[in-house]
């Protein structure tokens, strides 16, 4: 259960001691969003903060809606804001911004100059991350064949979307395109298995966006930020509703999307786009082989470690809550 929900309508209960860890989680999420094929939502799932972030973002948007539409604007707005896990949102956002401002250029260089190594690492990360939504599935209440069909359909959709990223690269995109692309890309941030950076790659503005951040192009960054805010406001409450009312279906679809997104991360492929890191025909392993395989194993190990740590943390939290109820 998300901590923000557990807190009910009162003050959130997230311990302040978790702030440095949440800052690191935000840095990892922001770093993931810089890499085509890797979803920040996937990293949020693996690090155990996905549902809390979605719930808190939904409360913030609910506060804004109450303030504009009413009724009882002030009271309703404050009620939603009190239900928001600010001790989670603030450090995670700070970590994401820090990642974008500090390593956008480095990440772009790594992905462009060493595509096999980059894909190997992220293939391992995403492949191992598939176990996370599977572990979160509630007990089945329908035929397994239906879940399997939904997962296959979602995987095929993600696979198809990857093949669209062959449209070349734009060096001076119009600002309306930047706004629209940001709105779509931030929606991908919310959905594990769908990469916002990869959608930018498909549209052809991945490199120019990273360059704008690195060179502090404030006009471009402001338009992109406005588009991202619009997309987030339009989409996050839908995801919150789906996780609350159709949890199993939503998690099954997320699992399929993550499986299909692996198409983008197979280390050996011949790029057919204008981006060096873009997708192309899948190839059999060719030199370099050792480096991508080692980094793939490293990615798997990192995710499994994070899953183990999160499982221990959840178990400890459940024990603490049980002890509190007995007192």
Gap between the Cα atoms of 256 and 253, Å rounded = 5
Question: Would residue 37 be called left, alpha or beta, if left means φ above 0 and alpha means ψ between -120 and 50 degrees?
Answer: left
The mean pLDDT of 258-269, rounded to a whole number, is 87
CA angle, 184 then 188 then 191, to 5°: 145
User: Which H or E run contains 280?
Assistant: strand 280-282
- Say whether 266 sits in a helix, a strand or coil: coil
Over the stretch 170-215, which tens digit does the pLDDT of each residue have? 677 888 888 988 888 787 677 776 777 767 776 777 778 878 887 8
Measuring CA to CA, which residue among 247, 250, 237, 257 is closest to residue 42? 257
Closest CA to 50 of 123, 125, 136, 121: 136
What CA–CA distance (Å, rounded) separates 299 from 306?
A: 11
- 58 pLDDT higher than 80: yes
Q: d(Cα 42, Cα 258) in Å, to the nearest integer?
A: 8
Q: What percent of the chain has pLDDT over 90?
A: 17
pLDDT of residue 4: 44
pLDDT tops 70 at residue 256: yes
Tell whether 316 is covered by a domain. no
The mean per-residue pLDDT over the stretch 263-278 comes to: 70
Beta bridge mates, 282: 269
Mean pLDDT across the chain, nearest whole number? 82
Using an 8 Å Cβ cutoff, are 161 and 202 in contact? yes
Instruction: Residue 182: name the closest of 134, 132, 112, 235 by CA.
Output: 235
Q: H helices of 191-275, where?
A: 196-203, 206-214, 218-245, 247-261
Tell me whether residue 62 is in a domain: yes
Tokens 């772009």 locate to 108
Is residue 181 within 8 Å of residue 203, measured between CB atoms?
yes
pLDDT in tens, 117-170: 988 988 998 888 888 889 888 888 888 899 999 999 999 988 887 776 554 556
Domain ranges, residue 280: 3-104+120-292
In a domain, 308, yes or no: no
For residue 152, what pLDDT is reported? 96
If one compares 42 and 274, the residue with the highest pLDDT of the two is 42
Structural domain total, the chain: 1
Q: Going by DSSP bridges, is the β-strand pair 269-271/280-282 parallel, antiparallel, or unpaired?
A: antiparallel
Cis amide bond preceding 97, omega within 30: no
257 belongs to a structural domain: yes
Within a domain: 314: no
Overall pTM > 0.85: no
The answer to whether position 210 is within a domain reads: yes
The answer to whether residue 114 sits within a structural domain is no
Q: Which run of H or of E encompasses 277? A: none
Distance CA 206, CA 204 (A): 6
Q: Binning pLDDT at 50, 70 and 90, where does residue 73 land?
A: confident
Phi, psi of 222 (to 5 degrees): -65, -45
- Does 324 map to a domain? no
């Amino acid at each position: 259960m998300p901590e923000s929900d557990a807190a009910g309508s009162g003050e959130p209960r997230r311990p302040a001691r978790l702030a440095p860890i949440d800052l690191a989680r935000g840095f990892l999420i922001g770093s993931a969003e810089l890499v085509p094929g890797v979803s920040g939502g996937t990293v949020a799932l693996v690090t155990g903060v996905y549902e809390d972030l979605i719930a808190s973002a939904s409360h913030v948007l609910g506060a804004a809606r109450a303030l504009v539409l009413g009724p009882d604007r002030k009271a309703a707005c404050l009620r939603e804001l009190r239900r928001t896990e600010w001790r989670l949102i603030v450090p995670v956002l700070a970590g994401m911004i820090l990642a974008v401002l500090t390593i956008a250029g480095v990440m772009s260089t790594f992905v462009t100059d060493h595509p096999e190594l980059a894909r190997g690492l992220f293939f391992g990360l995403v492949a191992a991350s598939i176990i996370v939504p599977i572990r979160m599935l509630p007990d089945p209440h329908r035929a397994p064949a239906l879940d399997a069909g939904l997962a296959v359909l979602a995987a095929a959709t993600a696979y198809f979307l990857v093949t669209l990223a062959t449209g070349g690269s734009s060096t001076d995109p119009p600002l309306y395109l930047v706004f629209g692309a940001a709105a779509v890309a931030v929606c991908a941030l919310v959905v594990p298995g769908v990469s916002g950076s990869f959608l930018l790659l498909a549209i052809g503005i991945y490199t120019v966006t990273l360059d704008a951040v690195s060179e502090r192009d404030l006009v471009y960054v402001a338009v992109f930020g406005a588009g991202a805010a619009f997309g987030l406001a339009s989409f996050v409450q839908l995801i919150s509703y789906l996780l609350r009312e159709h949890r199993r279906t939503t998690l099954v679809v997320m699992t399929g999307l993550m499986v299909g997104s692996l198409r983008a991360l197979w280390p050996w492929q011949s790029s057919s786009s204008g981006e060096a890191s873009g997708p192309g025909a899948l190839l059999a392993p060719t030199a370099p082989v050792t480096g991508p395989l080692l980094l793939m194993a490293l990615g798997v190990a990192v995710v499994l470690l994070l899953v183990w740590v999160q499982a221990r943390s959840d178990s400890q939290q459940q024990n603490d809550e049980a002890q509190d109820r007995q007192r």
